[in-house]
Structure 1
């Protein structure tokens, strides 16, 4: 597979994961939820679910022609890197009386993987196009 084909696949996979953010949090709350209780009990968490579901739809749509959607892909890669860096620092705290170290094995590395894969594949796809 060439870089463009891999990028298309990655966009669909990450888009689907974004759409499944809520169920993933139900199965593995210590790696994905930053509050006590059920996911729907946090207005913040539900806002994040809505944002990621929307992003997921647009990532899947971008898979049709990734080079025409470079700004969306770069936004996803860079914002994932920034989000992951902030969450890494926050994982060492105890906000709300919770231990957040589980995020270092959950959503934090997931964000870094998204950033590396999408950024790397887009870079390679552009250089071979």
Structure 2
């Protein structure tokens, strides 16, 4: 794959990851067993929605010039790996949470893998 092709795919991946991040709240409403960790009232979901909405906006902005936003892309990669791993463990620890292994856990880990594969390399950042 050429550098141009990789950057084109990275731009698309950043848009998709950004849009999914911005869609967290609707996903929590439409598929709670795969995306929402609380039932009833809790402040936690809206805090998480706020963080991911902010990340989503910045990922979409980074799609214009990915090489200039390598640290943001790598933050998205590693925070997604950590978040997904913690949620995977918690899915096994709490009864009724296995739906997350089909929803937000794979979404985070797939996004992390795709972004890591396509992320700007040091040699490309001249």
TM-score normalised according to structure 2 size? 0.90
**Contact 1:11 / 1:59 at 8 angstroms: preserved in 2?**
yes
CA RMSD across the alignment: 1.5
Q: Could you tell me how far 1:42 is from its partner in structure 2?
A: 1.9
1:57-114, CA deviations, whole angstroms, 9 ceiling, x for partnerless residues?
00000001000000000000011001111111000122xxx51000000000001011
Q: Which residue of 2 aligns with 1:24?
A: 27
Matches within 5 A, 1:29-108: 29-37=32-40, 41-94=41-94, 99-108=96-105
What residue ranges of structure 1 are gaps of 5+ in the alignment?
none
Structure 2 equivalent of residue 126 of structure 1: 121
Deviation at 1:126, TM superposition (A): 2.7
Mapped partners of 2:24, 2:88: distance in 1: 19
2:118 and 2:42 mapped to 1: Cα distance? 35
Structure 1 segments of 4 or more deviating over 4 A?
none
Q: How far apart in 2 are the matches of 1:35 and 1:43?
A: 9
Distance across 2 between alignment mates of 1:7 and 1:63: 7
Superposition deviation, residue 128 in structure 1: 7.6
**Do 1:33 and 1:45's aligned partners in 2 also have CA atoms closer than 8 Å?**
yes
TM-score (norm 1): 0.88
